[in-house]
Amino acid sequence: MIFRRTLKNTILKDLIETRKIVLIFGARQTGKTTLCNEILDEIKEKSLRINADQIKYFDILSSRDLNKLKLLFDGYKYALIDEAQRIPDIGINLKIIYDNMPGLKILVTGSSSFEMANNVKEPLTGRTITHKLFPISLSELKSRDTIFEISNNIEEYLTYGLYPEVFQHSNAHSKEKYLRELISSYLYKDILELSSIRNSNKIIDLLKLLAYQIGSEVSINELGQKLALKQETVNSYIDLLEKSFIIFRLSGFSRNLRKEISKRDKIYFWDLGVRNTLIDNLSSLTFRNDIGGMWENFVVAERLKYLAYNEIYTSSYFWRTYTGAELDYIEERNGVLTAFEIKYNKAKQKPPKTWTENYGNNFYCITKDNFWEYLI
């Protein structure tokens, strides 16, 4: 089942109309390779498609040897280098290619931004356009399904997530089997291969602890105590997981009012299927006690996908005071603050008085009955 990805036309335009190298970051299995192949098929020009997992390309693409690189790309107008984070010194070599082969258009994917950023961005300053590809978004589902159909299937998305391949499986057993394979074979692959982490069990245990805390503020000190790790180590692991597109953080919003809490973050998962599989709970929402946190995670993740794909540049936060007043999600854009309450069944009709007194009354409620207004 092929979805029309929101980024397709944007990337196609960037590739055809500019000389810049187009970089696509995202977790493994989010559809980067499929998207790139669709784009190159549509262009219908001679293209070289390289999978960097294949060892035969390592020597040439890490050689810094212009003659070898010219031989590899000779006769091609477009080139795809897929999973490029696996190639040593890929950034320097891409710079050599870019500077010496002006007729070649280059498309590069990477499933781990922390390594790609180190190896690509500095050598290629001013030479790239970067995009992030997430699991399927609700806006992309809308290209196939009606809002009515999406609403009817919302429990499926909350339970099994939105990785493209999940939609290929027709029953609960095969979906769970795929998600377990995704986690065991792909999810940590780049983190463990491209970083100095020695104990993969600590990463898995950390993810499980974070999975139980979605929708709540996270204490790094408490996580460190439970994992028998230093706070600095926990922070570094969270940073790696974030840069590998497994989790993301929201910080607390504050204008330095004495009563506001802003030192802790909330941590969410980009995909709830991954989160639920980590804690071995893919049961129906009817039997769950974590629906509130799941719905909050789902809405925030979908909202961030929507903003990213539509190139709406916004700072995102949550808000809470020591007296207990809180708002689940805050956006700040061009100096304007917008507050959101996120509740699966029902929400407050008014924001907390402390918020309106200090920041205004630009306030909305997102529930399962109106989510499409804000996420699609």
| Tens-place pLDDT, residues 3-49 | 899 999 999 999 999 999 999 999 989 999 999 999 999 999 999 99
111 in helix, strand or coil? coil
Q: Is the pLDDT of residue 190 over 80?
A: no
**How many other CB atoms are found less than 10 A from the CB of residue 259?**
12
CA Rg value for the chain: 22
Instruction: Tell me the average pLDDT across 175-192.
Output: 84
How far the first Cα of the chain sits from its last, in Å, is 20
Distance between CA atoms of residues 295 and 246, nearest Å? 17
pLDDT at 117 over 70: no
The pLDDT of residue 12 is 96
| 3 state DSSP class of 337 | strand
Residue partners of 289: CB distance under 8 A and separation at least 6: none
Res 359: pLDDT: 93
| Interval 208-252: pLDDT, tens | 999 999 999 999 999 999 999 999 999 989 998 998 899 999 999
- Read off the pLDDT of each residue in 162-178 and give the average, rounded to a whole number: 96
Q: Which residues pair with 168 in a beta bridge?
A: none
Nearest residue to 44 (alpha-carbon basis) of 11, 66, 77, 80: 77
Give, in degrees to the nearest 5, the angle at Cα 331 between 272 and 311.
80
Cα 373 to chain centroid, rounded: 22
- Cα–Cα distance for residue pair 54/77, rounded to 1 Å: 22
Q: Which one, of 258, 259, 261, lies nearest residue 219 by Cα?
A: 261
- The dihedral over CA atoms of 310, 312, 314, 317, expressed in degrees to the nearest 10, equals -30
The SS3 call for residue 43 is helix
Q: What is the pTM of this model?
A: 0.93
The CA–CA distances, whole Å, from 227 to 159, 210, 221 equal: 27, 12, 10
Distance of CA 51 to CAs 97, 116, 161, 289, Å? 17, 15, 27, 43
Number of Cα atoms under 13 Å in the Cβ half of residue 40: 23
User: What confidence category does residue 298 fall into, taking pLDDT thresholds of 50, 70 and 90?
Assistant: very high
At residue 113, the pLDDT reads: 65
What is the spatial distance between Cα 343 and Cα 129, in angstroms, rounded to a whole number? 37
For residues 74-96, average pLDDT: 91
Residue 81 binned pLDDT confidence (cut-offs 50, 70, 90): very high
Structural domains in the chain?
Answer: 7-132 (3.40.50.300), 141-375 (1.10.10.10)
